[in-house]
Amino acid sequence: MELWRALLRLGADLSIRPHGLKALFALRLDKGHVIVGMDTEFDSTPRRLGMEWAVKMDKADFIGRHSLTRTDRLPLDKKLVGLTMEGEAPEEGAILTLDGRFNGYVTSSNWSSALDGAVMLGWIRPVAGTWPDRLECAGRIATVAPIPFYDPEGRRARA
């Protein structure tokens, strides 16, 4: 068990709570927020990131519009997905495999106290035209999960 979790357990009667960068990192991952340069790649597009909502293609011309129009015509060859796993989170950069073959890698990984398991973001590739829903990671099964992992309707944020 990680030291910080042991400290939280031992200080529960004092109502201690996590704070600092590690807590912020865990919260952003629970909500599925990406860190540019960590979860993105040089050729990331809103479609590959699952963030088509962030770009209004019906707007007047904007920088990058032609590139997005062109790349959106191509078959999707990889995408960033949410992954969950029981137990401790694997290392960031851990390899994702399907039937023993490389399929992608984990970009962000953390144990979620809200979900009592590991949550991750990772890049995966389709196999024979379909997207895998379960992959192997660090000798265990990782399941593709919708993002955000926690409070998808945003009720807690608006409370």
Q: How does pLDDT run across 15-32, given as a tens digit for each residue?
A: 887 778 888 888 899 999
Q: Which amino acid is at 35?
A: I
- Domain count of the fold of the chain: 1
Range of the domain at 107: 3-158
Q: Which tokens in the block code for residue 101?
A: 């073959």
Q: Which CATH number belongs to the domain containing residue 111 in this structure?
A: 3.30.1360.120
Selection from 40, 39, 43, 41 nearest residue 29 by Cα? 39
What does the alpha-carbon distance between residue 106 and residue 110 come to, in Å, rounded to a whole number?
11
Residue with tokens 């192997």: 136
pTM: 0.85
Which tens digit of pLDDT belongs to each residue from 70-83? 999 999 999 999 99
